[in-house]
Amino acid sequence: MSTDKVLFDRVTKTFDVRAGRRAPTGAVTALDQLTLGVRPGEFLVVVGPSGCGKSTLLDLLGGLSRPTSGQVLVDGRPVTGPGLDRGIVFQQYALLPWRTAAGNVAFGLEAKGVPRAERDDLVAHHLELVGLSGFAAHYPHELSGGMKQRVAIARSLAYDPDILLMDEPFAALDAQTRDSLQDELVRIWQATGKTIVFITHGIDEAVHLGRRVAVMTSRPGRIKQVIEIELGDRGAVDDVRSSDAFRHHRHEIWTLLRDEVRAAQSTERRADRPDRPARRRWLGRSAAPTGARTAGTGADGGRTPEVAGGADRAAPAAVHTEEARVG
Q: Measured from the CB atom, is 208 or 281 closer to ligand ATP?
A: 281
The reply on whether position 281 binds ligand ATP by CB under 6 A is no
The reply on whether position 215 binds ligand ATP by CB under 6 A is no
- Near ligand ATP by CB under 6 A: residue from 208, 250, 293, 320: 293
Q: Measured from the CB atom, is 18 or 241 closer to ligand ATP?
A: 18
- Minimum gap (Å) between residue 15 Cβ and ligand ATP: 3
Q: Measured from the CB atom, is 54 or 119 closer to ligand ATP?
A: 54
The reply on whether position 284 binds ligand ATP by CB under 6 A is no
Task: In whole angstroms, give the CA distance from residue 12 to residue 72.
Answer: 10
The reply on whether position 50 binds ligand ATP by CB under 6 A is yes
Q: Strand pairing partners for 18?
A: 25
The reply on whether position 217 binds ligand ATP by CB under 6 A is no
Q: Measured from the CB atom, is 41 or 327 closer to ligand ATP?
A: 327
- Minimum gap (Å) between residue 80 Cβ and ligand ATP: 19
Q: Measured from the CB atom, is 212 or 320 closer to ligand ATP?
A: 320
CA 90 to chain centre: 7
Q: Measured from the CB atom, is 54 or 194 closer to ligand ATP?
A: 54
Q: Decide if 311 contacts 22 (C-beta within 8 A).
A: no
- Minimum gap (Å) between residue 296 Cβ and ligand ATP: 10
The reply on whether position 62 binds ligand ATP by CB under 6 A is no
The reply on whether position 54 binds ligand ATP by CB under 6 A is yes
The reply on whether position 305 binds ligand ATP by CB under 6 A is no
Count the site residues for ligand ATP by CB under 6 A. Answer: 19
- Near ligand ATP by CB under 6 A: residue from 48, 161, 202, 298: 48
- Stretches 69-77, 120-128, 131-139, 293-301: which one binds ligand ATP (CB under 6 A)? 293-301
Q: Measured from the CB atom, is 50 or 182 closer to ligand ATP?
A: 50
- Minimum gap (Å) between residue 254 Cβ and ligand ATP: 16
- Minimum gap (Å) between residue 52 Cβ and ligand ATP: 4
Q: 86-89 and 163-167: which strand pairing?
A: parallel
Task: In whole angstroms, give the CA distance from residue 95 to residue 84.
Answer: 17
- Stretches 130-138, 234-242, 272-280, 309-317: which one binds ligand ATP (CB under 6 A)? 309-317
Q: What is the 3-state secondary structure (H, E, C) of the chain?
A: CCCCCEEEEEEEEEEEEECCCCCCEEEEEEEEEEEEEECCCCEEEEECCCCCCHHHHHHHHHCCCCCCEEEEEECCEECCCCCCCEEEECCCCCCCCCCCHHHHHHHHHHHHCCCHHHHHHHHHHHHHHCCCHHHCCCCHHHCCHHHHHHHHHHHHHHCCCCEEEEECCCCCCCHHHHHHHHHHHHHHHHHHCCEEEEEECEHHHHHHHCCEEEEECCCCECEEEEEECCCCCHHHCCCHHHCHHHHHHHHHHHHHHHHHHHHHHHHHHHHCCCCCCCCCEECCEECCCCCCCCCCCCCCCCCCCECCCCCCCCCCCCCCCCCCCCC
The reply on whether position 294 binds ligand ATP by CB under 6 A is yes
Within a 10 A sphere around the Cβ of 291, how many other Cβ atoms? 12
- Minimum gap (Å) between residue 2 Cβ and ligand ATP: 24
Peptide bond before 78: cis, by omega within 30 degrees of 0?
A: no
- Minimum gap (Å) between residue 309 Cβ and ligand ATP: 7
Where along the sequence are the contacts to ligand ATP (CB under 6 A)? 15, 17, 28, 30, 48, 50-56, 219, 293-295, 311, 313, 316
